[in-house]
Amino acid sequence: MPLHDHFHLPMSKRASWEEVHGLWPGIMAMRLNELLPPEFRSGVKIHLGSLVEVDAGAFEYDDAPLNGAAADEGLAWQAATPTLLLDTDELTPPEYEVRVYDETNERRLVAAVEIVSPRNKDRADSRDAFVSKCHAMLQQHVCVVIVDPVTERSGNLWGELAQRLGAQPPTMANVPLYAVSCRTHFANARYRVEAWEHELTVGAALPTLPLWISDSYYVPLELESTYQTTLRGLRLG
């Protein structure tokens, strides 16, 4: 089952991209738990942003005075017009993430799969936050996989991450859709950042990537089969 464009017609009319992004990490985690050694476990982190609708945050009473008729003249004071710093529909971008932990080592995070959302790419500060998170995990020797199937936003977060690391521009730095697995590896008294890059194409199958859980051991991250299972589960296949 090839990769679909979930951000444009006709697929966007059948289901929103959030449905796929919401289910796919769980399917990945379930499959990884079938492949991981017993001392490792995979789980899911879904963060839907910090925009919260407040229900009944204030109450209005029929006999409550307004500012102009306040019993205390101090209540008639009005604030000056504010300076607009940001106008956005989301204070923090959502996160769709699969995590792998070493359960024998104080539940240490050893690998993370980041599925890019449109809001990870729509503003400079959103891109910087995403890159900073991935950079921090690599510094902690966490294997990081970035899967970017977003067709409605430009920009390449993998290229920005490589630049943050001080690396040469990677092969996939300018492609619109991609999947990459990268890890920090210490060998011969040198730190190496290694990457396995694949370009994604709408209408083509997804790759399998190595998900490193130690310096010498990895399990396959089967993007194609887990994506197929996700679509079948949503009746989109």
Q: Given a cut of 70, is residue 212 above it in pLDDT?
A: yes
pLDDT-derived band at 145 (thresholds 50, 70, 90) equals very high
Domain definitions of the chain by residue range: 11-48+90-233
Give the span between the Cα atoms of 53 and 22, in whole angstroms. 20
End-to-end, the C-alpha distance of the chain in Å comes to 8
Give residue-wise pLDDT tens across range 150-167: 999 999 999 999 999 999
Q: What is the DSSP string of 29-83?
A: HHHHHHHS-TTEEEEEEEE--S--PPSS-S---TT---GGG-SSGGGG--PPPPP
Q: Given a cut of 50, is residue 70 above it in pLDDT?
A: no
pLDDT at res. 174:
92
- Which pTM value belongs to this model? 0.82
Give residue-wise pLDDT tens across range 19-44: 999 999 999 999 999 999 999 999 99
pLDDT at res. 59:
37
Q: Given a cut of 70, is residue 109 above it in pLDDT?
A: yes
Q: Given a cut of 50, is residue 108 above it in pLDDT?
A: yes
